[in-house]
Amino acid sequence: MKQRPKVGVAAIIRKDGKVLIGKRKVPLGKNKWAFPGGHLEMHETLEDGIKREVFEETGIAVSEITFFSVTNDTSIKDNTHYITLFFTCNYISGTVQNMEPHKCEGWEWVSWDKLPSPVFLPIENLLKQHVNPFSK
């Protein structure tokens, strides 16, 4: 069977001039910083995918979900190929919690210009685009 890229979604959640980011524990991207997100489910809308992933991972609700950018993320070392769709959104309610401690060390609000490193490959590729989620 022919392998094909998978579709990932990532939420750049904005609150008080900062974005939410967490340190990954899973093998793919282990010890790298990433935004909440994951795989788009079959027959799921993009907006529903973002809302679901954000809630599953952080316990918070978001609004004003807007397409932001796309990256083509290939890793020969990991034998992976993802198309990652990034969305900006705004925090609306809830207390940030680490809902999946087996996948993430925890969540932090940080300034866009002070993202921790190293970042997960999709964010690394996003940053090469010189974009800013607060200016779009």
Residue 136: pLDDT above 80?
no
Model confidence pLDDT, tens digit, residues 82-110: 999 999 999 999 999 999 999 999 999 99
Tell me the pLDDT of the chain averaged across its residues. Answer: 97
Residue 16: pLDDT above 70?
yes
**CB-CB contact of 25 with 105 (8 Å):** yes
In a domain, 135, yes or no: no
In a domain, 39, yes or no: yes
Torsion over CA: 47, 48, 49, 53 (sign): positive
Percentage, residues of the chain above pLDDT 90 = 96
In a domain, 122, yes or no: yes
Domain hosting residue 55, numbered range: 6-127
Instruction: Find the CATH number of the domain harbouring 84.
Output: 3.90.79.10
Model confidence pLDDT, tens digit, residues 28-86: 999 999 999 999 999 999 999 999 999 999 999 999 999 999 999 999 999 999 999 99
Give pTM, 2 decimals. 0.96
What domain count does the chain have? 1
CA distances from 46 to 39, 66, 74, 116, 118 (A): 10, 10, 21, 27, 27
Beta bridge partners of 86: 10, 69
In a domain, 132, yes or no: no
In a domain, 40, yes or no: yes
In a domain, 88, yes or no: yes
